[in-house]
Every structure is written in structure tokens, then in C-alpha cells.
Structure 1
Amino acid sequence: MHSYRWCGSMPSTATATTTTATTMIRRLCCLQSVSPSLPFSSASTTTKKPLVFLGAPQVSAIVLDTLLNASASPHSLFEVAAIVTQPPARRDRGKKLALSPLATHALDRGFSPDLIFTPDKAGDDVFLSNLKALQPHLCITAAYGNILPTKFLDIPPLGTVNIHPSMLPLYRGAAPVQRALQDGVKETGVSLAFTVRALDAGPIIATETIQVDDQIKISV
């Protein structure tokens, strides 16, 4: 079995992937008001459109920050209407239940706890009913960790966009960064793609490459 060891400072391919993803989201947010082909763009829009963000680990909190900061702009055409994350899990060797890092970060930023959903499955009927009530125009996912069923994907009229840390169609599925490093690639990247039922197989919106940090070593 391979494990991955960072030599030197923490800035690495994993960190660069997160940074690139947030940069791409910022660009999407900036372009929303000038391109009719992108979500939310409308010269006559005066009310911010609801967006729902899905994630769980700490890395997804960085993306949430980008979305919240962008939505706070007076020129933004969207607002983060709700957050969907994993339910509380036992941490610290199973001693206590704890919120996901994303939920904790959202609460720290003052996000309403009533708008943080933690369904066991994304197909839960009560959850989907609450989601429909928000009338989200777009959903964005980053390391959410649950499969999204068709009845979820049918809700936002503009679709669901996933941030995937690979140059799709390469390294679809789980642990794309780890698998890329194991293969010894010299560059990887980040993709924004629409979510469909097939795993990481939706239309690709944008990609950006990242050079693999030479400080990353693979040990056996």
C-alpha cells in the first residue's frame, strides 16, 4: 500500500488544487453578470438567486468562503441560501458526536443553523422537500461525499456543478489527487463540471492544470 508524505512546507499539490478551485469559482462568480451562457446572468435581475452549497471536509470550507464573500458583493446575482453536509459523526476516537468541518466553519461565519442540512442520504424525502422550498437555481458541490440521485439533480433549473480535483475525464471518482500522485504524474488539475448520474461524467465547464509539487514523495 502506498502512503503520501509531504517533505518541507505544507504548500503542495493538495493545497494548490484547493487554491485553483476557489480561483475558478471566483471567475465563475465574476463572469455570471456578463455572459448569458453562465448561471444567474441576466441584465434585468434585481433579486439575488438562491444557491445551495454541498461539502463536508475542511477543504470545502475554503470554497464556501469564496461563495459567501462573492455573494456579499452588491453586484452579486446570487446568495448562498443553504448548506448541505454530512451528519454529525463520532470523532476523537468515538467519544463524542461532532459536526462536519464545513458545518462548524459555516456556524463560525454566522450562517443560520436552520439552513444547514445534514441528511443521511441526499435522496431523503424530507430533505428534498426542504430543498425544493428554497427554490435553488444552482447547486455547487465540493467533496460532499454522497451520491446525488436524479430527484435531487432535477431540482435546480441551472443544474449542479461539481468541483473535482483532476483533469476530467482522468481520475474520476474518489481520491483523484492520491491516485494521480501514485501514478507519478507531473501535472494534475481541477475541473468544474455539471453533475449527472454517471460518476464525474457530466459536461465540463472549465479546467485548470497544476504542476505537481516536487516536494511530494510517495513512500511504501
Structure 2
Amino acid sequence: MMLVQHCVHSFHLRSIRPTTAVSAGRMLQERSSKTALSRLFSAVSDGAEKKRVVFLGTPEVAATSLKKLYEVSQEDGSTFEIVSVITQPPKRRRRKGKLEPSPVGKVAEELELEVISPEKAKDVEFLDHLENIIKPDLCITAAYGQYLPKRFLAAPTHGTVNIHPSLLPRWRGASPVQRSLEAGDNPVGVTVLFTISKMDAGPVISQKEEMIDENDTATNVLPHLFDIGTELLVDAMPGLLSGKITMDSATTQDEDSVVQAAMIRPEEAECKPWEESAATIHNKLRGFSMWPGAFVYLEVGEGMEAAKFKLLETRVLDETADATDAVLPGSSKKDGLRLVCSDGSVLEINRLQPATRKPMDALSFVNGLNGKTVRWVKTPSE
């Protein structure tokens, strides 16, 4: 099924939000007529027909990129217009809630842009519409979340380009920022590249390194890199649309330097101080801050059953300790808890969240101990 909302900005047409199935023939006929009118209006008002750009994306970081590209397209002298936005289908955010569009879908509606939400990018009806009605000159992807088939990639005259938040060829795959921070990379970076059938393997158009703070997390690094990547793309747009920047002129990636950014599994979120250092645990928290988070099992009170605690804010201390299996109060009220790992490295825990309770700072946690000791324990099942 292909969900469509069609708006032509120039004529301020009312948004059409289909609640029942519409025949493909009728839908395409209506859209073809409106598209023709829109292109004619653009040609008359601007003196020349603008290049047709299609944007593909889904989450909030991509919605910000869409806004920026739309603003650029509205500037005097712009050589392109965004003619369609493709995003994942609406989802229920709550069990019995109504279907809600993706963040990109919401922004596109606000901007009165056509929104298409195919269940799969390989859907024949969707690809027919792309080729015969939209006829893109350039497609842009930013965290769209679906594999694009060869037929899609063959549709735009100047190809498809992608904003990817890593220094390719390092961290190809589903979780580049998360894996980069988990590995302790600094600098991190972002790449604008051509899309080919092999994931994140296309020629590089532009790339930028970015130094970050040792305590930065994926929550703030990811949107920052997408902002930088969008600026890189805007700078490259004239060359892309004129045909000066092509697959052949872009930089081929070094296949010998490829590092894969595998999809994150929930079980990776467990911190294991009996085999991981303070830096490893801290970087895991940084990388997994958005999902699934990082947690450790603690025994609060000698002989008590181990409980799961989510780690929310930590930092690595420049010190070592001899104690093991220990979580110690800080040396002053301003300090957090000190989790001593088996190698002697020390992780300061500043905010944490007990299971089924609200987040708390370390001082509040210590004040509630009433003299009880705290120790880390291995996974209860081990």
C-alpha cells in the first residue's frame, strides 16, 4: 500500500489525507494533472524550470535536514525545488492511539509538500509513480530506513545522495554514531555520498571531521552531525544538479578500511565491570544513550537480591582503586558514586535510575542508603 498526501504549494490546495483505498489509476491521474500545473507555474514565474528534488527520511534528525533544504529551495536564485517527500508509513505511538506520521512526514505536511509512504520502497506502484509522475532529477536520503532497489536508484537523472553520520568507510551500517561513540572515536564525522546498491559503499562527495567532548552522547552528537552533513550537501547541490559532481568524479571508498556498524542488540546494554573497564562502560553509555541505554546490576545491602539500575550520566576518573565488586560513595557531596571495575579503573556515576523508579542523582541515591553497602554483581543468571 502506498499512502499519499498531495499538496501543491503554489496553489495552496487543501491537504488530502486518504482514509480509504484509492485506485492507482485515479490517484496517478489526479497527481499528474496537479504536477503538470505546478511545473508550468514554476517555469512561468522563474523563467526556467527548476531541478526536481525528492527527499527521503524518517526521524527527527532527518526532519531538520528537510527544513533546511526547503529553506534553501525557497531562496532567490535557487535552482531546485522539493517536489516530493518519501517517508516510512504512519505508526501508532501508543497501543490504542491514532496513526501518526513520522517526524519527516509531519514537517512535509507543514510545508505543504507531497508525502508518499510506501510500505516497501520496492513496491511496483510506488516505483511507477516515481518514474512516470515525479521524474526526479536528484534524490536525497537521510535516515530513511529502507533499502532502495536498483530501479529506484536508476530513476533520478543525477543520482541519489545520502547523508551518513560517520567517517566512511569506517562505520558502514545501521548504527554509525552509536558504534563510533562506543569505540571511543574522536574525531567523529559525517559523509555525503552517492547511494549504490551496496550499503554505504558509494563514492564520497564530501566529508568532515568533528571533535567532540569525551562525555558527549549519541543523543546530542547525532543531530549535530546531521546539521553538518546538511550544510555539506547544500554546498554540493550546485555541482550535483549541474552534473559537475558525478559518480565518476567523486572519491571511491577504500574497501580495505571498512568497519561495519552492526545493528545494536538490547543485550549489549548490560555493563560488566568484572570484564569491562570504566572507559568501556562510559563509552557504552554514550553510544547507547538513545536506545537501549546502559545498565548494571547492583546489590544494595549485603545479601540482598541484585537489582537492575540504568546508568544515565557517568565520567571516567583519572584514578585507580584496589577494591573490586564495589560501588563507593564519592569523597565529597559534589562527587558521584565510584564504581570500581575489576581492572582498578574507576567510573563516577552521577545519575542513575533504579528499575520501576524515577531517575535520581547520585547524592539522592547515597542519602537513601542508610548505611547499606553497594556492590556490582555479575548477571544474576550467571
Q: What is the TM-score with the length of structure 2 in the denominator?
A: 0.44
Query: Which residue does the alignment assign to 1:121?
Result: 120
Which amino acid in the other structure matches residue 164 of structure 1?
H
CA RMSD after TM alignment? 1.4
Distance in 1 separating the partners of 2:212 and 2:179: 13
Q: Is 1:149 aligned with 2:129?
A: no
Alignment match of 2:93 (pick from 72, 83, 91) = 91
Distance in 1 separating the partners of 2:185 and 2:148: 30
**Highest relative contact order (Cα 8 Å, sep 6+), 1 or 2?**
1
Distance in 2 separating the partners of 1:170 and 1:93: 38
Shift of the alpha carbon at 1:93?
Answer: 4.1
Unaligned 5+ residue runs, structure 1? 1-44
Distance in 2 separating the partners of 1:93 and 1:185: 38
How many residues in Structure 1 have an aligned counterpart in Structure 2?
173
SS in 2 for 1:172: strand
Distance in 1 separating the partners of 2:86 and 2:53: 11
Instruction: Tell me if the contact between 2:57 and 2:143 (Cα under 8 Å) persists in the aligned partners.
Output: yes
- What does the per-residue CA deviation read over 1:80-135, in whole Å, with 9 as the maximum and x for residues that have no partner? 000000001121245332111110112123x24xx200001111111111111111
Instruction: Tell me if the contact between 1:185 and 1:212 (Cα under 8 Å) persists in the aligned partners.
Output: no
Which amino acid in the other structure matches residue 64 of structure 1?
L
SS in 1 for 2:118: coil
- What does the per-residue CA deviation read over 1:151-203, in whole Å, with 9 as the maximum and x for residues that have no partner? 00000010000000001101001110000000011111010000000010000
Residues 1-220 of structure 1 aligned to structure 2 (within 5 Å): 46-93=48-95, 95-109=97-111, 111-112=112-113, 115-132=114-131, 133-216=133-216, 217-218=282-283, 219=285, 220=294
Which amino acid in the other structure matches residue 182 of structure 2?
Q
Unaligned 5+ residue runs, structure 2? 1-46, 217-281, 286-293, 295-382
Instruction: Tell me if the contact between 2:67 and 2:107 (Cα under 8 Å) persists in the aligned partners.
Output: no
SS in 1 for 2:173: coil
Structure of greater Rg: 2
Q: What is the TM-score with the length of structure 1 in the denominator?
A: 0.75
Distance in 2 separating the partners of 1:173 and 1:197: 13
The share of aligned pairs that are identical, in percent, is 45
Shift of the alpha carbon at 1:214?
Answer: 2.3
